[in-house]
Structure 1
Amino acid sequence: MNLLLVEDDPAMRLSLTRSLERRGLRVQAVADGPAALDLWPKSQADVVLLDLSLPGMDGLDVLARGRAAGLRTPVLILTARGTVGDRILGLNVGADDYLPKPFDLDELFARIQALGRRAGTKPPSAAPATPAPSFCGMRHDPDSGAVYHEDEVLELTPREAALLRALLARPGHAIAKERLFELVFAGELDVQLEAIEVVAYRLRKRIAHTGAQLVTLRGLGYLLKAQG
């Protein structure tokens, strides 16, 4: 699935690009309205992620001009302007969905997939379907993002699920705290690195019954191993 990201904040733009590309999306990113209007008709984008607070040309103007030019790509608005009036205005101009900042990356990805399905686009897939690898009876569903233990869905928060998915990808191997922070808190602002410790603490209790152990490696990060 091809994605056009219009976001003026460099850190947010880079973080979102990396996070979404890891999930199988092909992302083209621009920082302002004129660049968006120039690239949009040439990008073959299946979904557009559009920030409203852009320099020089407001995101609503970009959307209105794109629709007036006949561009019918589904548009998902991302913005810190979360009032009801802003949402209604965006939808009336031609937006298909609206997600206020800060947002959860899992929810963003789910909304992108939903818009792609509505437009008849095949959801991103890294390879032909194969059984997900299992560790201590745990596996994750790459389509839904849910994590299962012995065919029962684990009750996890989105952040806990993101952390567990990352650890399940490399059981027995240390993963740096900074890398896990990027995966768990991608797209979120004003979050300190130490917040990953809180998520790890909670996840450790959630999976205690599975036979897996979440180990803290001082100065290195975390790893998942079998108990005992």
Structure 2
Amino acid sequence: MKLLLIEDDERIADALAEDLSDQHYTVDVVYDGQTGWDYADMVQYDLIVLDVMLPEIDGITLCQRLRQAGHQVPILMLTACDTIADKVLGLDAGADDYLVKPFDLQELSARIRALLRRGETTTPPVLQWHQLSLNPNTCDVSYGEQPLALSPKEYSLLEFFLRHQRRVFSRAQLLEQLWPFERMPDESTVKAHIRGLRQKLEAAGAPKDLIETVYGLGYRLKQLDE
């Protein structure tokens, strides 16, 4: 899952980005509304965390602009203003949820999960592909009865494939979805992580090519005979 965090307080932004990254989200961080608009208009995000008080373009205006432009991405608004009128203003601007500072990181994470679930009514709580199982709530991964210990990026890759079963993704598409925009490596990095993930899946009893290469196109989960 790829998130955009728009927060002008760098201390808060860095702490939030670190916490969300630890939960296997890919997070782009920007510190003003104009840059936030540029990123949101350029990259497809699963959710935006948006502060109200921002330089360049304030959060309320940015939220309105995103909705007017047709962006349906869930928006969680952050603000130090806790009056009913302020909450109504944010929600009427198009925000899906509203959290008042200071807030608990666990509550923020829970609200993010709740917003992401709204767009996944057809997605089961545990993602499965034959004997492969991934629980996004606990981050547990197993093949059959064998648990898998994955690196954060291996986990993100596997979750992404499980959320988009049978779809083929190029290395460039995987980079765009699973790496922060400002720290995007070259495509050989994707190849290395895919290789490591395949090795761990095979060690747990999965077929060697469970993540198969579609030559000239990219990668996908392989359909297996039951």
Alpha-carbon displacement from aligned partner over 1:32-57 (angstroms, at most 9, x marks no partner):
11101110132221111000000122
The answer to whether residue 114 in structure 2 is matched with residue 101 in structure 1 is: no
Unaligned runs of 5+ in 2: 124-135, 148-226
- Cα distance in 1 for residues equivalent to 2:94 and 2:115: 14
Normalising by the residue count of structure 2, what TM-score does the alignment of the two structures yield?
Answer: 0.55
- Cα distance in 1 for residues equivalent to 2:36 and 2:137: 23
- Aligned position for 1:36: 36
- Aligned position for 1:116: 116
Structure 1 residue 124: Cα displacement: 6.8
- Cα distance in 2 for residues equivalent to 1:18 and 1:128: 22
What does residue range 21-32 of structure 1 map to in structure 2 within 5 Å?
Answer: 21-32=21-32
Percent identical pairs in the alignment equals 45
Secondary structure at 1:98 match in 2: strand
- Aligned position for 1:128: 141
Secondary structure at 1:128 match in 2: strand
How many residues of Structure 1 are paired with residues of Structure 2 in the alignment?
132
| Runs of 4+ more than 6 Å apart | none
Structure 1 residue 125: Cα displacement: 6.7
> Do the aligned partners of 1:24 and 1:125 also contact (CA within 8 Å) in 2?
no
- Aligned position for 1:65: 65
- Cα distance in 2 for residues equivalent to 1:42 and 1:117: 24
Alpha-carbon displacement from aligned partner over 1:178-217 (angstroms, at most 9, x marks no partner):
xxxxxxxxxxxxxxxxxxxxxxxxxxxxxxxxxxxxxxxx
- Aligned position for 1:83: 83
The alpha-carbon distance between structure 1 residues 68 and 37, as it changes in their structure 2 partners (threshold 3 A), is same
Which stretch shows the higher mean deviation, 88-97 or 113-122? 113-122
Structure 1 residue 4: Cα displacement: 0.6
Structure 1 residue 23: Cα displacement: 1.1
Normalising by the residue count of structure 1, what TM-score does the alignment of the two structures yield?
Answer: 0.54
- Cα distance in 2 for residues equivalent to 1:56 and 1:2: 24
Secondary structure at 2:91 match in 1: helix
- Aligned position for 2:3: 3
Unaligned runs of 5+ in 1: 134-228
